Structure 1
Amino acid sequence: MPTLNLAPASVADYRRLAEARLPRFLFDYLDGGAYAEVTLARNVRDFERLELHQRILRDVSARSTAVTLFGSELTLPLALSPVGLSGMMARRGEAAARKVAGAFGVPYCLSTLSVCSVEETAAAGSGPLWFQLYMLRDRGACADLIGRAKAAGVSVLVLTVDLPVVGTRYRDVRNTMSGGGNAWARLRRGLISYALHPGWALDVGLGGKPHVLGNIAPYVKGAATPADFSAWANASIDPSISWADLAWIRAQWSGPLVIKGILSPEDGVEAVKAGADGIVVSNHGGRQLDGVASTISMLPRIAEKVSGQTRLLVDGGVRSGQDILKAVALGADAAMIGRPWVYALAGAGEAGLLNQLKALQGEFSVSMALTGTLCVKDVNASVLFGPPLASN
C-alpha cells in the first residue's frame, strides 16, 4: 500500500504541491528547460550518480553545518538562486522568500526580473540579500539598478553572463508563455487555467497585485502585464557583453561581485583574472543551451583551476541536503537552489519553504555524520566513494 502524502518531506513532494496549485503555463515556466530538456535531467541525474562513502565509529556528536560566506554567517552552505517571475508563483513571492531565508540564515538572491522590487524585497526581512543583474543595453538603467540595490542594502552583486540571448523552452512555446498563438487562444488558456486553480487565482492572481516587474518598471513604458515586461527585458539584455564590461560594473559597484554562468575551466580562470570575488558554476538550470554538461560534473574541473582564488558556488540539480554535501565535497563553498525553493513557496507558502530549508539542513547534517565529518571545512572528496563522474 503506498504511503499517503500527509506532509511533504522532500523537494519532489513540494514539486507535486506546486504543480497542483499553479496554472499549467506558470508551472511549466518554472519546471521546464531548454529544447528537449536533456541538460535539465542531466543536472539532477549526475548528482544521483555520485556515491557517498559511509564511515563508522567516529565521534560525530559535535557537528556544525554553519559557514561564513562573503562576510555573513550562514546556517549551512546554501543560497536561494534568483528565479524570474517568482512573484507570480506565490503571493509577493520574492518578498516572502527573502523573509524566510533571512529568518533561517541563508542568503536570498533577487532576480532582475522579479515582481517585487529590490526595495520591497529588502524591507521584507533581514539577513544577507544578494541582487542578480542582467547587463542591459541601456547602461543608464543598469547603473540605476545597481545604485538602487546598493541603497537597499544588497551585499553581493551577482552578474548573470550565460544569457546573451534567450534560450528556447518548448514547454513555453506549446502553452504560448513565450508568445505565439492568437490572442483569443491565450485568453482562453488563461481563463481556463485560472478557473482550474482557484486557490492561486484568489491568493496570487487577485491578492498578489501589482503584477509588474518591480525592478525594471521605472524604465519601461507602455507595459501592463508580466509578459509585456518580460518581452521588454528579453529585447533589452545586451548580447554584446564581454569581459571588458566588468570594469564598468566595478566602477558602479564596490562590494563582492559574483559571476554566474561559468561552465568551463577556461572561463573560470578568466573570471578570476577579471577580479570576480566569486563564480557560480551554472548552466542556468538547463534553461539556456541544452546538451551541455551538468554543473556537478564541471565543478571539480573548474575548482582545480580556481580553488583558493575566488569563492566557488554551484547551482543546477541540487535537490537534497546530500546534494549540498556532494557539491562541497567537489570544491564548492556553497550550493544554490532555484526551482526547489519556488516549489515549496508556491505549494505550501512561507511555512513550506521554512520546512524545506530545515529538511535540507537535516539531510546535510545526517549525511555529514554518516560520512564521518564534523564541520563543513572538513568536507572533501573523501566523503565520496570513487572519483567524480564525467557527464555524458
Structure 2
Amino acid sequence: AAVPGGDRWFQLYFLKDPALMSGMLRRAKASGYRVLCMTLDLAVHGRRERDIRNAFTVPLRPRLRTVAEVLARPAWLAGFLRNGVRFGNFADAAPSSSGFSSIAQHVAKLCDASATWRTVEAVAREWDGPFVVKGVLSPQDALRAVELGAEAVIVSNHGGRQLDHVPSAVAALPAIVRAVAGRAQVILDGGVRRGVDLVKARALGADACMIGRPFLWGLAAAGEPGVARTIEMFREELDIALALLGVPSVEAVDADCLYREAPAA
C-alpha cells in the first residue's frame, strides 16, 4: 500500500503444506501482486558454512561475541526489544505460543523436497497469471520453464549458499540465453555489486538483473536513505561505464562491449 505504483512480485517456495501455499497465493493476489516468482533451488537448506562459523543457528545460541556485538548497538537492541522479529507469512501456520526461534524452526521444515516440474505446472495453473522461475543454472531447465509458460527465467545459484561447486550465475548465463533464444526474458541474479556489473550482464545477454545484498547493506548502514543512496551509486556507475564504452544507452550494450582475448595462433 505504501508503494501504489510499484510492480509487485511475490516469491514462493514450494511447501509441504498445499493449503498454506494456496493461502499465500490468494493473499498475494488480493494484495495486488502481479507476478509469481517460483524459487526452485531450496528443496532443502544447504550446508551454509559461513552461518556455522558465525554461530548463526535456529534457535539462536548466543556467544560472548554475539552479546558484545548486540550491546554495542543500543539503538538496534531497543528497536528489537520494542518490536521483536516475526515471520509474517508463517505466523498463522506455527503454534500460537511460538516465538521467533520456534517459528524459524517450523519454517525450516516446511520446504517440499519432492516438488517436480508437475508442481510448477500446478502452481502456475492455480496462480493463473504471469510467473517466473528462479534458481535456474542449466539450459535444459530454462527450456522446460519456458515450455510451461514462464515469462522469465532467473539465473541464480541462491547466492552460492546452497550447493558447493555449482557455477556462478554469470558463468551459466550465456548458455541459458542461447537456449531460451528470446522466448522469455532472462534475468541474472547474484554477484551484482556495481553498475559495471549491469553492463557485463547485458553484454552477455541478460534482459535485467536482480540486486539483493547491496540494498541490504545500504539499509543496515543508513535505513531508507541508505537504500536510496545504493540505487544512486548503481545509476552513477552505470552511466560512467556506458560513457567510457561509448554506447548511448543500456539497450545499445551488446557482446561487442566485452573484451575477449584472441585465441593463440
Q: Scaled by the length of structure 2, what TM-score is found?
A: 0.91
Give runs of aligned pairs for residues 32-181 of structure 1, distance below 5 A.
Answer: 123-126=1-4, 127-179=6-58
1:368 aligned to which of 235, 238, 242: 242
After TM superposition, give the deviation of residue 148 of structure 1 in Å. 0.5
Q: Is the 8 A contact 1:223 1:229 kept in 2?
A: no
After TM superposition, give the deviation of residue 188 of structure 1 in Å. 5.7
Cross-structure match for 1:227: 101
**Cα distance, 1:161–1:206 mapped onto 2, change above 3 Å:** same
Q: In angstroms, what is the RMSD of aligned CA positions?
A: 1.9
In structure 2, C-alpha distance between the alignment counterparts of 1:161 and 1:223, rounded to whole Å: 31
After TM superposition, give the deviation of residue 366 of structure 1 in Å. 1.8
Cross-structure match for 2:215: 341
Q: Is the 8 A contact 1:212 1:224 kept in 2?
A: no
In structure 2, C-alpha distance between the alignment counterparts of 1:124 and 1:325, rounded to whole Å: 31
1:186 aligned to which of 58, 62, 77: 62
For 1:236, what is the secondary structure of its paired residue? coil
1:308 aligns with 2:182: yes
Amino acid in structure 2 at the alignment position of 1:144:
G
For 1:260, what is the secondary structure of its paired residue? strand
Amino acid in structure 2 at the alignment position of 1:253:
W
For 1:233, what is the secondary structure of its paired residue? helix
Q: Is the 8 A contact 1:147 1:252 kept in 2?
A: no
After TM superposition, give the deviation of residue 356 of structure 1 in Å. 0.8
**Cα distance, 1:186–1:222 mapped onto 2, change above 3 Å:** farther
After TM superposition, give the deviation of residue 250 of structure 1 in Å. 1.8
Q: Is the 8 A contact 1:325 1:379 kept in 2?
A: yes
1:206 aligns with 2:84: no
Cross-structure match for 1:383: 257
After TM superposition, give the deviation of residue 318 of structure 1 in Å. 0.5
Cross-structure match for 1:292: 166
1:255 aligns with 2:129: yes
Cross-structure match for 1:119: none
After TM superposition, give the deviation of residue 383 of structure 1 in Å. 1.2
Identity %: 39
Higher relative contact order (CA 8 A, sep 6+): 1
Residue ranges of structure 2 left out of the alignment (5+ in a row): none
Q: Scaled by the length of structure 1, what TM-score is found?
A: 0.63
After TM superposition, give the deviation of residue 195 of structure 1 in Å. 0.8
Structure 1 runs (4+) deviating above 4 angstroms are 187-190
The number of residue pairs the alignment matches comes to 260
Amino acid in structure 2 at the alignment position of 1:201:
L
